[in-house]
Amino acid sequence: MPADSHCHLNDPAFDIDRGEVIESIETAGMVHLLNVGYDLPTSHKALALAHRYPYMYASAGIHPHNASSVDDTVLDELRKLLAYPQVVAVGETGLDYFRDRSPREDQQRSFRAHLALARSTGRPVIIHCRDAMDDCLKILEEEEVGKIGGVMHCFAGSPEEAEKTLELGLYISFAGNVTYPKAGMLRDSMAVVPGHRLLLETDSPYLAPQKKRGKRNDPTLLRYVLETAAKVRSVTIADMERIAVNNFEELFLNTGAEGKIAYQIRDSLYINVTQACSNECYFCVRFHSDTVQGHNLRLAKDPSAEQMIEAIGDPTKYGEVVFCGYGEPTIRLEQIKQVAKAVKDKGGVTRLNTNGHGNHLAKRNIVPELKGVIDSVSVSLNAADSETYNKICKPLIKNAWNSTVEFIKEAKAGGLDVTASIVAIPGVVDEEQCRTFVEDELKVDFRVRHYNLVG
């Protein structure tokens, strides 16, 4: 089991059998669990649970239902709770225009007060938003939530609203309602969230997943959210567990995994060849995060060929070994050739992920050197013309798009299995124009990657 980023074992619904539920959580192997306060009593209860169970953490806050109760005395009590290291976030707070149990002006006042508290204490904020997205995003922007950090919990908005939330620098968390048959839009939203901004939660005792709908929810049922997320995002359960744990640690604990030379996604093993690149694509994850699908790729120095070979181990355990990472791998062509040969000698399958600048960088046609050690090549073409390419990729070399096109042609002529890919940037990249160019003129396979999604 991964990390439940939002639950309420501090709720009275668990008073009768809390101990038994916790035993089942521990049996399931939960890594981290955050009990979220929604008033002063539950905030204190969350802290008490965190004191008792090392894998549990707490937050302190007042739900918008109780916003009218927030005054200086309440805020002072929350501040005292936030002094404890186990209390890792402010909230939940936000706006709830669905039930309107507190006047909207009180909700907005309380929301801003919580954001100020988060800013002053250095804690991220947990945001509840129901039927109030426009006002919620407006307040978050005005209060510069990106400088605070936080998560929009139990997200229930559209993909467009998800993108606006991401633009503010927030994480997005999904709960059991993402499993409901009629929650197609919500699953579409989950699909557009980058791996380094995604969290999973139960919101228990509420929002039991579809297979347990109508019953009390608890953290062991996070497995159903996990399964749905893996299916929606076309990754494995293990991938999603790693993503959820790493992002929990990044947001709430200010920790994360060490940088990796080799990292597995689905049945492929990716090799983090270099941090250097001949492009500065504004959509590239290396400018926004240290992680790809829950793997930290930020290395202090590029690995040697020997280090890469050691990190790979037995290549036949994987469907393929992919030379990739945060930069352009052909910058280190000699190391790739050495490692790829070692992989092939052991019976492995190899792929090169490249921006297609290899011939330009080496000042020669490198395809004959790849033949025999590289089985397939994925080339980031990203545009059907040089003007668009220069706009989004910001190349550091001249005639970069032409170099990429020529590399694709050389690779195909040289007998390599070639796929040209683009990143579908709305309003910038014409997907059909790119498809026509790739399939009709270059005559290679075509692949589309969603904007902001890597791996």
What pLDDT, on the 0 to 100 scale, is given for residue 290?
A: 82
* Helix (H) or strand (E) run with residue 171 in it: strand 171-174
**What average pLDDT does this structure show over 13-31?**
97
Buried b (16+ CB within 10 A) or exposed e, 91-105: bbbbbbbeeeebeee
Per the CB < 8 A criterion, the answer to whether 94 and 129 are in contact is yes
What pLDDT, on the 0 to 100 scale, is given for residue 159?
A: 93
**What average pLDDT does this structure show over 165-192?**
96
What pLDDT, on the 0 to 100 scale, is given for residue 455?
A: 56
**292 pLDDT above the threshold of 90:** no
**247 pLDDT above the threshold of 60:** yes
**What average pLDDT does this structure show over 238-253?**
94
What pLDDT, on the 0 to 100 scale, is given for residue 453?
A: 56
Go through the chain and tell me how many residues it has: 455
Closest CA to 376 of 356, 357, 350: 350
What token pair was written down for 452? 């902001």
What does pLDDT average to over the chain?
A: 94
All residues at 6 or more sequence positions from 117 whose CB lies less than 8 Å from its CB, including other chains: 75, 78, 79, 82, 90, 123
**What average pLDDT does this structure show over 280-307?**
85
Closest CA to 322 of 332, 312, 333: 312
**What average pLDDT does this structure show over 228-245?**
93
**288 pLDDT above the threshold of 80:** no
The three-state secondary structure class of 38 is coil
All residues at 6 or more sequence positions from 289 whose CB lies less than 8 Å from its CB, including other chains: 194, 196, 197
Predicted confidence (pLDDT) per residue in 138-168, tens digit: 999 999 999 999 999 999 999 999 999 999 9
What pLDDT, on the 0 to 100 scale, is given for residue 112?
A: 98
Predicted confidence band of residue 256 (pLDDT cuts 50, 70, 90)? low
Q: Phi/psi of residue 406, each to 5°?
A: -65, -35
Phi-psi region of 98 (alpha: psi -120 to 50; beta: other; left: phi over 0): alpha
**What average pLDDT does this structure show over 406-416?**
96
Q: Phi/psi of residue 291, each to 5°?
A: -125, 150
447 burial level (CB within 10 Å; 0-12, 13-18, 19+):
middle
Number of H helices, E strands in the chain: 16, 17
Buried b (16+ CB within 10 A) or exposed e, 333-356: bebbbbbbbbbbeeebbbbbbbbb
Predicted confidence band of residue 425 (pLDDT cuts 50, 70, 90)? confident
**What average pLDDT does this structure show over 335-344?**
97
Predicted confidence (pLDDT) per residue in 118-131, tens digit: 999 999 999 999 99
Q: What percent of the chain has pLDDT over 70?
A: 98
**257 pLDDT above the threshold of 70:** no
Q: Per mean pLDDT, which range of 45-49, 234-238, 416-420 is the poorest?
A: 234-238
All residues at 6 or more sequence positions from 129 whose CB lies less than 8 Å from its CB, including other chains: 94, 95, 96, 136, 152, 156, 157
What pLDDT, on the 0 to 100 scale, is given for residue 419?
A: 97
Domains in the chain: ranges and CATH? 3-253 (3.20.20.140), 262-450 (3.20.20.70)
Distance separating alpha carbons of residues 271 and 421, to the nearest angstrom: 19
What do you get for the CA distance between the two ends of the chain, in Å? 22
Q: Per mean pLDDT, which range of 55-64, 98-107, 127-136, 441-450 is the poorest?
A: 441-450
What pLDDT, on the 0 to 100 scale, is given for residue 281?
A: 87
CA distance to 38, 155, 161, 199, per residue, from 132 (Å): 18, 12, 11, 21
What token pair was written down for 236? 């494995």
All residues at 6 or more sequence positions from 282 whose CB lies less than 8 Å from its CB, including other chains: 392, 394
